[in-house]
Amino acid sequence: MPEIRNLQPFVQAVRCGSFISAATRLQVTPPAISKSIAALERELGVRLFNRTTRKLSLTSEGRQFYQRVAPLLSQLDEAVADVRRSPEHPEGLVKVSVTPTFGRHCLTPVIAEFLQRYPLVEIDISYDEIAPSLVNDGVDISIQHTRGRGTNHVSRPLCDYPIVLVASPGYLERKGVPQSPDELAEHEFVGIRMPFGLAALHLERLPGSTRKRGARKDKTFIHHPRGRLTVAGQPDTSLVAALSGAGITPSSVPVVLPYLRTGTLKIVLPEYRVRGDEADGTGPRIYVHYPHRQYLPAKVRAFVDYLLERFRSADTGKAELDIFSA
């Protein structure tokens, strides 16, 4: 295969009609053009030009070769130009994997704003309870509850994602309002069966909250949900059962906030939150993961920056919680 550095002088010589004009276009000397074309002819084993002192014309082999090579070089030039333009004008498809509940209730509602800001970028979202591989599954960005420990990608905290216990007013009127975590044992729970099973609830009392009379001194409480109803699939599906009065269920604040505002759900034990799995004891968080590359595509960088801008300043409904207690 001929060296690509010798193809451009050949194509320019054909387009310009002379070695001198081609040299001017490529900002080299005419002897350099002549030397490159001679090297190309040796590599191909054919003569590409008929040269005279007054005229330069293509041979039949040269014409055929030009017709095949010129479009390919044009495509290469366009590809290089597109890559160089991309940092200023992000363009192309971004494949995003997101945990279903956060994706439906938090991410999808703000996608339109991003698409308006970057009209050349397309977003393809998949809702995945188990995070796919950024490398093996062709995903550009993954948004999940876990920080991740992989060395082949970057994990950054996106926002806090507080989880509370909720129940319908009808259920609480029938069964009573629990005043402490110990009283949860007397209540029905709507369980959520995830791929990893039915996990215990780790409740933690909020800093500064007043401990009610008779409540345990511990700041944390582990409760193993007991109930006759278990819902498989996404966490927000348990709300349908809770709304009908089937029992208490945990749910993230952004998901339950519309129901709290209408009064169809109430927060149970408002001084407690469901603790996250992080080693530092922080509450549940959402993390954004993306490939650990030096040259991150502009389209991916633009979307990551937008997510950090959009969600780091959000309180995810925490400011409203106090008025929705049972």
Residue 145: the pLDDT is 85
Ranges in the chain annotated CATH 1.10.10.10: 4-80
Q: What is the pLDDT of residue 5?
A: 83
Please give the pLDDT value at position 73: 85
CATH 3.40.190.10, the chain: domain bounds: 92-161+284-319
DSSP secondary structure string, 20-46? HHHHHHHTS-HHHHHHHHHHHHHHHTS
Report angle CA 280, 282, 284 to the nearest 5 degrees.
130
Look at domain 92-161+284-319 and name its CATH class.
Answer: alpha beta
CATH number of 4-80: 1.10.10.10
Domain with CATH 3.40.190.290 in the chain: 163-282
Tokens representing 140 are 């550009």
What is the maximum alpha-carbon separation in the chain? 108
Instruction: Quote the pLDDT of residue 21.
Output: 87
Tell me which of 3.40.640.10, 3.40.50.2000, 1.10.10.10, 3.40.190.290 is the CATH number of domain 163-282.
Answer: 3.40.190.290
Angle between helices 7-16 and 30-44 (to 10 degrees): 120
Contact between 250 and 163 (Cβ < 8 Å): yes
* Per-residue tokens: 73: 């070089």
- Type and span of the H or E element at 53: none
pLDDT of residue 86: 61
Mean pLDDT (10-residue bins), the chain, 326 residues? 80 88 89 92 91 81 90 81 67 92 91 95 91 78 80 82 93 94 92 72 80 62 81 77 93 89 93 73 80 78 93 63 64
The residues that bridge with 287 in the sheet, in sequence order, are: 144, 157
